[in-house]
Structures are given as C-alpha cells and as structure tokens.
Amino acid sequence: MVDKGKISRGQLAFMLYSLMAYDGLLLIPKIAGEKAGRDLWLSPVWSHLTGIMMVLAMLRLSRMFPEESIIVYSKRILGKWLGIAAGFIFVFYAFYLTSVILRIYTDFISSVFLENTPTVVISGGIMFLVAYTARGGVEVLGRLAQLFIPATIVVFVILSILTIPEWELSNALPILGKGPIPSLKGATVPFTWFAGYILLGLYYPLLSDKRKVTLFVMTAWFGEMITLAASGLISVFLFGEYTSTLNYPFIEVVRYIALGEFFQHIDALLLAVWLPGTFIELATYHYATVTGIAEWTGLKNYRALSFTLGFLVLVVSYWGITSDIDFERYLATSHIWFDFSVLVFGLLLFLVAWIRSKLGALKYN
C-alpha cells in the first residue's frame, strides 16, 4: 500500500455508509417514485436485500488477501495483464464516480441554495477541500468521517421527528396495492449503487484491526437501508404519489417543519445532514482514485496526484451533459448500466478467485 496510515473499523463503516445514504436521501424518493408510486420506500429495502451479495463478495475477497489492495490481488486472481486491466477498471470507476457525485452536489446546491453563484465556484470550492483531505491520507479521512457522519445521523433523526405532525399515514396505503413489481422496478437504481462497495478492496488492508469487520460493514449496510427507507416513507406520508414530481422530495419534507411562529423555514438545516456526508463520500472516492492510480502505476508518492486529479474530476463533472434535466435522465438510464457493469465485475472477480482457490490454483492468506 502506498499509504501507511490506518483506520478503525468504525471509521470504515462511516465511510461506507456515506457511499449511498446522502445521494439516496435526495434522489431515491424521486427516482424510485417514478416506478413504485406510494411504495417507493420499499425500493431501498429490496435493493439492499439483493445488493448484500456484492457486500459479502467484496468482504470475502478482502479476507482472502487481507494485506493487499484490489490493484494487487487482481493480478494474482486473473494473471498479470488481465489484472492490470482490472486495476484500470477500479481506478476509472472511482474517478468517474467522484465526478458524478460532484455534479449531483453542484446541481443541488446551485438550484436550491445558491442560485446566483457560479457553479464552478460551488464545485471548485468543495473539490479543493476534498483533494486536500485525500492528500492528508486515510487517517485524516477516517477521523473526519468519525466526526461528521454521526452528527449528520442525529440531525436527520431530529428533522424526521419534527415532521411527524404533518404526516398523513393514509398516503402510504394500500401497501403493495399494485403488487411488488413496481417497487422492485424502483429498486433498480439503488441496487446498482452497490458497485461502490468495490472500494472495500482498497480500504480493507488499511484497517488497524480486522477482527469482526463484517459486523461493522453490515451495520453500515443496515444503516443505509433504514435511512433511505425512512426518508422515502416520510416523503410518502407528506406527498403521497406526488413525491416523484418533486425534484428533491426530502428538501420539501424539511420545509414542512414549523414549531410555532419563530421556528420556520429551516430547510437550510438539511445542509447539516447532506453537505458533510457528501463531502465524506467525495473524499472516500477521490482518495481511492488517487491511491489506486499511484499503486496501479507504481508511484511512491500518491499525495502529488491529489490536486491534479481533483482538477480533472472538476472538468469531467461538466463534460458532455450540461443540462440539469439531461443529467437527471442520465442518472436514471445510462448510468445504471455503468454501475451495473462494475457490480458484475466485482462479483466475477470474487467468483474466479473462489473457483481457482477450490481447484488449488490460487493460494491466499
């Protein structure tokens, strides 16, 4: 590993939680609602129950090669040249996902909070902080995740409780009124997001204590499912089948909160949940990109790449798709296949390793 730093199991769990929870908080109620209607809150449940196979596959691979990253053990599993190609797939995925998440962040902030601010200022500002964090190493990233993520969870719970007076429980009924198919269709997008768990192949060797890692990873998995299902259900309680017509349903949920005449219009508090979480998500992917490329190319000093790659991420986030509407359509269509192909790649890598180990052609620790 090019970084000699270490993180705890809890810090890893917080980083993994950030991979789906915060983008899902904004996007899943709308994306799933277009297919599932009032059952959209079930879609994250189905996606997590099926996506667990990717989580367990990457955990098993990591335990087979506990001191090696996916860049290294791919060569042992697939051979030199196919392993090099697999390493490229990993670093390209991490790089491209960083740009996609940055674009999601920029579109949300510019459309909801900073409408008159140039988007390059919004995206460039956070990308500078992300690159600076990645340059500091995995220990800095882990401590920031440990600091920010629990606070965002507490604020999310408080905001959710404050919406209770506005709930209309009948909006969620009948549950599965049209059968399970609509909610299963709505689970397609969040299911493909489990491709992000391929990052376990890079972060697992950096753990200071590898005992009971599965418990911590599964806690992150369960926390994601509860967060996304709860945000979707609350959105349905307030807006019913009209949830999918809103650009960012949960921001509208928070705008319903009012305590008397002195505690209103607190939608900016959603930033206390979403912005720190998205920052950790961006930093988690960007660090994987930086150290992955350094290890893939044989560079000793990964820190020198952080700001350069950060600038390229910024450029790619604007590349090709300029319209917000076109970008939303891309996330719900073409991007699904990109994520799905990486998810299949991770599962195939595990399957090849498992078969070769059973045949005695692959030795692991």
Q: Where do the structural domains in the chain lie, given as residue ranges?
A: 9-344
Report the C-alpha gap between 275 and 256 in whole angstroms: 20
In the structure, what pLDDT confidence band is assigned to residue 334 with cuts at 50, 70 and 90?
Answer: confident
Residue 127 has pLDDT above 80, yes or no: yes
Query: How far, in Å, CA of 309 to CA of 269, rounded?
Result: 31
Pick the CATH number of 9-344 from 2.60.120.260, 4.10.490.10, 1.20.1740.10, 3.60.150.10: 1.20.1740.10
In angstroms, rounded to a whole number, what is the distance separating the alpha carbons of residues 80 and 169?
A: 57
- Identify the CA nearest to 137 among candidates 285, 275, 291: 291
Nearest to 36 by CA among 158, 184, 140: 184
pLDDT-wise least confident of 36-50, 154-168, 193-207, 208-222: 154-168
**Backbone torsions φ then ψ of 223, nearest 5 degrees:** -60, -40
> Tell me, what's the pLDDT at 274?
86
Sequence-ordered list of residues with C-beta below 8 angstroms from that of 117, at least 6 positions apart, any chain: 110
Burial level of 48, CB count in 10 A (0-12/13-18/19+)?
A: buried
The pLDDT assigned to 264 comes to 59
State pLDDT tens for residues 132-157.
Answer: 999 999 999 999 999 999 999 998 89
Query: How many Cα atoms sit within 13 Å of 98 on the Cβ side?
Result: 32
Q: Give this prediction's pTM.
A: 0.94
Helix (H) / strand (E) containing 264: strand 263-264
> Could you give the percent of the chain with pLDDT greater than 70?
95
Q: What pLDDT score was predicted for residue 224?
A: 94
User: Higher pLDDT residue, 260 or 138?
Assistant: 138
Question: Is pLDDT at 267 greater than 90 in this prediction?
Answer: no
